[in-house]
Amino acid sequence: TRDILESDIIIKGVPIKLLDTAGIRNTKDKVEILGIKKSEETLLYCELILLIYDLNLGWTKADEDLLLKIPDNTERLIVGNKIDCLNANNNNYKDKLCDVKFSALSGEGEEELINKLLHKCGASGVESLTVALNNRQKDLAYLASVSLEKVEESASNNLPWDFWTID
């Protein structure tokens, strides 16, 4: 992935925008360097980062380096993938850092991943949708509310329809 891929999904009624970025690693390829730079910039404005690592390989220095690039004020969820491939001998010292173990292949751990993701987003349990809104969405909702109040005022003053459309 050189570009940032975006996908809007809804999990249990909560809208979430996923961004899939290029892997952050050392490279000499100029095109890959551009993708990695975009990825590093993306880290700065995300509300939550899913750091997914391969449980078979265990926690690597590259994983640790990436974790250190995540701003301190950014929520994070560390996901160990490929739990279906683990054997009894694969006991990694950093697994204690892992928030959830998951298998993208079999779906094992999916419900736990979803619940922890929603919890980190502040939308766990039965809560109103407003908790899932980001600041931009809240500002837009407020502006829409103000516009509707102006339209309501125009209507109550019996102003012509074209005045309504101005607001």
Does 93 have pLDDT greater than 50?
A: no
User: For strand 14-20 and strand 5-11, is the pairing parallel, antiparallel, or unpaired?
Assistant: antiparallel
What pTM was computed for the model?
0.64
pLDDT winner (highest mean) among 29-33, 91-95, 102-106, 156-160: 102-106
Q: Beta strands of the chain (E only): which ranges?
A: 5-11, 14-20, 48-54, 75-81, 100-102
- Measured CA to CA, the distance from residue 26 to residue 6 in angstroms comes to 24
Average pLDDT over residues 80-95: 69
Which of the four pLDDT bands, split at 50, 70 and 90, describes residue 100?
very high
Return the pLDDT at 95.
60
Of these ranges, 79-83, 130-134, 151-155, the one predicted with the greatest mean pLDDT is: 79-83
- R_g (Cα) of the chain, nearest Å: 22
Angle (CA) 40 45 48, round 5°: 95
Q: Which one, of 86, 112, 85, 84, lies nearest residue 99 by Cα?
A: 112
- Look at residue 139 in the predicted model and tell me its pLDDT: 79
Question: Mean pLDDT, to the nearest integer, of 21-47?
Answer: 75
